Structure 1
Amino acid sequence: MRKIIHIDMDAFYASVEQRDHPEMRGKPVVVGGPPNSRGVVCAASYEARKFGVRSAMSCYQAFQLCPEAIFTPPRFDAYRMVSSEIRAIFHEYTDLVEPLSLDEAYLDVTENKKGIPHASVIAREIREKVFRKTGVTCSAGVAENKFLAKMASEKNKPNGLFVILPEEGAAFLENLSLDKFHGIGKKTYEKMLALGWKTGRDLKQSKEEELTKQFGKMGRYYFQMVRGLDERPVVSFRDPKSIGVETTFEKDSMDLNHLTSVLESIAEEVEERLGRKNKKGKTITLKIKFADFTAKSRSVTVEKFLFLASDLLEQSSILLTGVWKENINPVKKVRLIGISVSNLDLSKKEDDNQLSLFAE
């Protein structure tokens, strides 16, 4: 029986800003562009979330929802530094650490360096050490696999711990509202409601063939998900074939200027991820999913390796313009947009001084 912990930092970027700026503590904080702009929200504190402010919405919309919010630009260098301190704590317990981003990771503590028999004890110690070391809080989920651990970490957010014992997994998922399942978005949830499914128990009654008919290849995922089946190992190192970021909008958009602003924010995050892995790439791919769940992707391959956000934004904006021209009649709203970089330079040579600045 595996023992998996999922650690998720609480409003990470905003929490670091509140830690470093005492005047922001206890107040709604928005990390992103300036207010009344088409810049994009990178993160929102829990105080701002109470007003409906969410990541990926425009800062203009965030300002309308919460005029008293403090808007501050992102400081990725500071976030990377804190993330490195947190990962060092993880490695005190296990080398099987799979980072998903700066603020999220899986840990396999089945066999751990301190010989602690209970994963819940490890999770509790990690949360305490992270707060003492960095001054920011995190939430943790403990379970027998990655999917259940991810679900558990959401249960008592923020600054909480939740454990799903092996014998409790089935009941936990059966009683859960479908909109709380990781992997079920707003549109899918609405479709499931239309089919008469409200909870995991309802979904579990459906055969795999029926789910595949209704949801295509995702049907098999939903069939396994609602049964808590997940054999994926925690992978401590993975040499990627591509690196990308995508975001799903809270509200579908058909505003080209807003989509371009979102691309700018995404390009910055892709640059940050490329930098952490010391990678550059020649192929930039734009992914768009529309409100009707149809999707398009367009790619361009350039002669030299790229990693700077400005270059990624330039290429992806050209691709977006092309897709938008195809989308004129009829115009369809966009629910998801993303950028990925592939055709990577897989060598370890750091021949670009700018790239080496991102090395941890």
Structure 2
Amino acid sequence: MRKIIHIDMDAFYASVEQRDFPEYRGKAIAVGGSPNGRGVVATASYEARKFGVKSAMPSRQALQLCAELIFVRPRFDAYKAVSTHIREIFSRYTDIIEPLSLDEAYLDVTEDKLGIGSALEIAKQIKQAIKDELNLTASAGVSSSKFVAKIASDMNKPDGLTFIGPSKIEGFMEMLPVERFFGVGKVTAKKMKSMGLNTGADLKKLSEDDLVRYFGKSGKFYFKIVRGIDERTVKSERTIKSLAAEDTFEHDLITPEEMHTELSKLADKVSLRLAKNELKGRTITLKLKYSDFKQITRNQSFPNPIGDYQEIFNTVISLLENVDLQNKKVRLLGISMSNFGELVMYSKSGNSYQLELFE
């Protein structure tokens, strides 16, 4: 039986800012871009979240929700330094660490270095070390699978610790809303609910063949996971091959202007995710799905890696101009980045280039 911990820092960027600058403590702050431009929220403090401010939300919208919101420019060097320290804490207990981003990771502690034996105790010690050494809080989920550990870490935030033992996993999965299942987005969740499938227990009533017929290859995963079967291992070397954002619209898009507006939002999301993972890509792919469900893609590659919002947006607009949209209605748009290269750390002025993503 595996012992897996998922650690997720609480409002990471915002918490680091509140730790380092006393004037931000207890205040509603958003780390990200200015509301005067095309900025987006990278992370919001818990004080801001009470007003509905969320990550990836346009800064202008966030300000409408919370008039007292303080916008803070991100300091990626500071966040990376904290992340490195957190990783060092993890390595005291295991070398099997799969980072998902700067602020979260899976740990396999089936055989821990210190011979503690209890994954729950290890999670407690890690949380305490993060608090003592970095003056920050983390939430942890402990279970025998990656999926359940990740869900558990989000259950009692902030500063939470949730253990879901093997005997409770299947019952836990039965009660879980379908939208919390890995790989179930808004469109799939809506389809499931239209079929009367609201929880894991509802999914469990269907055979594997039924799930595959309704949901394609993902049906095989749903069939296993609702029964607590998750065979994915914690991979200590995790390579991100692509990052993407896409959206399916309630009403089909007809005019180029409508598509430009939606592509702007998607370019914001992609640039934010690239910055969070400290990546830049050489290939941009534009994805379109028409109202008749026909799907096409267009891509462009560059000699040097890019990640700036404006570069991404300009490229996809150029790609869109080469698509025949006459008499076409678009129900889905997507942007993906791949063929990653090393991050360019400094601009001509000598400042961190990553910060420009949030202008």
1:158 aligns with 2:155: no
Cα distance in 2 for partners of 1:81, 1:249 equals 37
Cα distance in 1 for partners of 2:239, 2:344 equals 20
Matches within 5 A, 1:242-321: 242-246=241-245, 254=258, 256-257=260-261, 259-260=263-264, 262-264=266-268, 266-267=270-271, 269-270=273-274, 273-274=277-278, 282-286=282-286, 297-302=297-302, 304-306=303-305, 308-310=306-308, 313-315=310-312, 317-321=314-318
Question: Aligned Cα RMSD in Å?
Answer: 3.3
Q: Deviation per CA, 1:275-326, whole angstroms, max 9, x where unpaired?
A: 5xxxx75433345679998765432123x232x434x752553224433765
Match of 1:26 in 2: 26
Q: Is the 8 A contact 1:300 1:315 kept in 2?
A: no
**Residue aligned with 2:316, SS:** helix
Q: Is the 8 A contact 1:2 1:110 kept in 2?
A: yes
Q: Is the 8 A contact 2:299 2:319 kept in 1?
A: no
Match of 1:132 in 2: 132
Q: Is the 8 A contact 1:29 1:47 kept in 2?
A: yes
Q: Give the AA of the match of 1:319.
A: V
Match of 1:171 in 2: 171
Match of 1:12 in 2: 12
Q: Give the AA of the match of 2:337.
A: S
Q: Deviation per CA, 1:12-56, whole angstroms, max 9, x where unpaired?
A: 111112212222222221122112433212122222222222222
Q: Give the AA of the match of 1:123.
A: A
Match of 1:234 in 2: 234
Inter-CA distance 208–317: structure 2 relative to 1 (3 Å threshold): farther
Cα distance in 1 for partners of 2:242, 2:334 equals 15
Match of 2:108 in 1: 108
Once the 2 structures are TM-superposed, how far is the Cα of residue 2 of structure 1 from its aligned partner? 0.6
Question: What is the TM-score normalised by the length of structure 1?
Answer: 0.83
Question: What is the TM-score normalised by the length of structure 2?
Answer: 0.83
Stretch moving more, 263-272 or 106-115: 263-272
Stretch moving more, 170-179 or 289-298: 289-298
Inter-CA distance 156–328: structure 2 relative to 1 (3 Å threshold): farther
Cα distance in 1 for partners of 2:130, 2:157 equals 16
Question: For 1:339, which of 319, 336, 340 is the aligned residue?
Answer: 336
Q: Give the AA of the match of 1:273.
A: N
Matches within 5 A, 1:178-217: 178-217=178-217
**Residue aligned with 1:155, SS:** coil
Q: Give the AA of the match of 1:2.
A: R
Q: Which ranges of structure 1 fall in alignment gaps of 5 or more residues?
A: none
Q: Is the 8 A contact 2:6 2:104 kept in 1?
A: yes
**Residue aligned with 1:231, SS:** coil
Stretch moving more, 67-76 or 260-269: 260-269
Cα distance in 2 for partners of 1:292, 1:44 equals 39
Q: Deviation per CA, 1:78-116, whole angstroms, max 9, x where unpaired?
A: 111111111110001000000011111000000111101
**Residue aligned with 2:170, SS:** helix
Inter-CA distance 74–328: structure 2 relative to 1 (3 Å threshold): farther
1:224 aligns with 2:224: yes
Match of 2:88 in 1: 88
Q: Give the AA of the match of 2:88.
A: A
Cα distance in 1 for partners of 2:295, 2:29 equals 34
Q: Give the AA of the match of 2:243.
A: G
Once the 2 structures are TM-superposed, how far is the Cα of residue 179 of structure 1 from its aligned partner? 2.8
**Residue aligned with 2:154, SS:** helix
Q: Is the 8 A contact 1:108 1:234 kept in 2?
A: yes
| Residues paired across the two proteins, number | 343
Stretch moving more, 81-90 or 263-272: 263-272
Q: Give the AA of the match of 1:266.
A: V
Inter-CA distance 80–248: structure 2 relative to 1 (3 Å threshold): farther
Once the 2 structures are TM-superposed, how far is the Cα of residue 236 of structure 1 from its aligned partner? 0.8
**Residue aligned with 1:201, SS:** helix
Once the 2 structures are TM-superposed, how far is the Cα of residue 210 of structure 1 from its aligned partner? 1.5
Cα distance in 1 for partners of 2:292, 2:199 equals 24
Q: Percent identity?
A: 46
Match of 1:323 in 2: 320
Q: Is the 8 A contact 1:243 1:273 kept in 2?
A: no
Once the 2 structures are TM-superposed, how far is the Cα of residue 181 of structure 1 from its aligned partner? 2.8
